[in-house]
Structure 1
Amino acid sequence: MYIPKSFQLRDPDIIETLLREHSFATLVTQQGGDICASHVPLVYRPDEGALYGHLAKANPQAEHLRDGRCLAIFQGPHAYVSPSWYGMEEQVPTWNYLAVHVYGRAHLVQESEAVADLLHLLLVAYEPQSRLPADRDRAYYRNLMRGIVAFRIDIERMEAAAKLSQNKPMEARRRVAATLASMDDEGARGVARWMQQLSVNDANLSFSPSKEERSHGT
């Protein structure tokens, strides 16, 4: 992923937050000449350096997950930014966003108890009070398990971007954040929250942009 220096995100805690809050990922694989993508929830386990998920057995992409390399794309909030919001001349439209690309190697989880454990992990992540894990030994649950392909992705590297107007003066960034926060759009308000938490208030994300980055909106 192309990430100008001003927009590179390296803080592992912030990256973990993004992966947890925006865990419905796009999983991309390639086998031979075929490129496949599926939209799936993936649970991040930083202590293991791994992602966990499953596909329907009927999904042809499942065959790509037998020790195959893959890319999981996590898209955070994003929003259009008008040049009129900066209070500066000679600006151009752009888009603010957060995203994480996770590269790794996928492995199938095939032993039945390991699959049940993986499903328990996914259920607890999204519905801690779910009664389904208690049903793991019932026949209907085991029958449903046979219709999925469970997998683990061993993470090789991550690339994260937080494009939150860091290449603009602080006052311009505050104007953008305030405008986005006032909009009747969940994505815009989400970007505003991140700008208020990071770009506007956190010196770690207040970079001095290069000449090239000052000249380009993206």
Structure 2
Amino acid sequence: MRQNPSFAMTDVIELRRLIELNPWVTLVSSTADGLVASHYAVLLDAARDDLTIVGHVGKPDDYVHGLGERELLVVVQGPHGYVSPNWYGDTASVPTWNFVSAHLTGVPELLTPDENLEVLDQLVARFENGMPQPRLLWERPNDPDYVRRLEKGTVGFRLTPTRVVAKRKLSQNKPDEVVETIIRELHAGGGTYADPRLAGEMRRDLDTRKAAR
């Protein structure tokens, strides 16, 4: 991802927030057979306060990616969306696409079966706890044998990135009044390109920049 200093995202707290809110990531590896990409959910490692993530892949994706043997690129995609030139006012302009994204690169560490079970448990809890009646991993009708068989079909990993490139392109190069217009348009429920999540990120970024002046 080409970096632009105006849009660089380097704050660890903000990057952790991005990962926490957007756990469905793309895993990319360069192999002898070419590039390979897979999609899985990850979590921040609860025992760390950096950008270490944990997750799992289903077999044989561990073999396909050469998991633990070579670099893995993890693409975290936050809110993103189209910005119309009409929202800039009566001035020469072209469309653009606003987005928040991070690339985490490193060689992952493979987890033991017990560690993998813990991660699987955490993943289920992370998403089921938003349900009215959560069904956690170890609860009936699942039994311990079923859960352990499930674990054997997956390979867990922990990745502490050695390289991070992150970008938050949210119209920071535009005047505040133009950014306010874009936010309003993105909030417009009837608009073709309405996206409240992206509008929320832009509002948060704009307010932070204003407070820092």
TM class, shorter-length: 0.7 to 0.9
- Which consecutive residues of structure 1, in runs of 5 or more, have no partner in the other structure? 208-218
Alignment of 1:144-159 (within 5 A): 144-159=150-165
1:70 matched to 2:72? The reply is yes
- Judge which range, 76-85 or 122-131, deviates more: 122-131
Mapped partners of 1:5, 1:88: distance in 2: 28
CA distance 1:201–1:120, change in 2 (3 Å): same
1:57 aligns to what?
Answer: 59
TM superposition shift of 1:126: 2.1
**Matched AA of 2:98:** N
Question: Of residues 132, 136, 143 in structure 1, which corresponds to 2:137?
Answer: 132
1:79 aligns to what?
Answer: 81
- Judge which range, 12-21 or 54-63, deviates more: 54-63
2:200 aligns to what?
Answer: 193
2:30 aligns to what?
Answer: 30
CA distance 1:80–1:34, change in 2 (3 Å): same
TM superposition shift of 1:9: 1.4
Question: Of residues 158, 162, 187 in structure 2, which corresponds to 1:181?
Answer: 187
Residues 131-187 of structure 1 deviation map (CA, whole Å, 9 limit, x = unaligned)? 314579711111111111111112212221111111111111111111111144687
SS of the residue aligned with 1:202?
helix
TM superposition shift of 1:32: 2.3
1:105 matched to 2:107? The reply is yes
CA distance 1:22–1:52, change in 2 (3 Å): same
* Cα RMSD (Å): 2.5
**Matched AA of 1:131:** L
2:117 aligns to what?
Answer: 116
TM-score for the superposition, normalised by structure 2: 0.85
Amino-acid identity (%): 30
Contact 2:12 2:51 (C-alpha < 8 Å) held by counterparts: no
| Number of aligned residue pairs | 205
2:170 aligns to what?
Answer: 164
CA distance 1:58–1:139, change in 2 (3 Å): same
Contact 1:104 1:154 (C-alpha < 8 Å) held by counterparts: yes
CA distance 1:112–1:25, change in 2 (3 Å): same
CA distance 1:104–1:186, change in 2 (3 Å): farther
TM superposition shift of 1:51: 1.2
Mapped partners of 1:143, 1:154: distance in 2: 28
Residues 16-70 of structure 1 deviation map (CA, whole Å, 9 limit, x = unaligned)? 1110111100000112242110011011224264211111113365551023211
TM-score for the superposition, normalised by structure 1: 0.84
SS of the residue aligned with 1:92?
coil
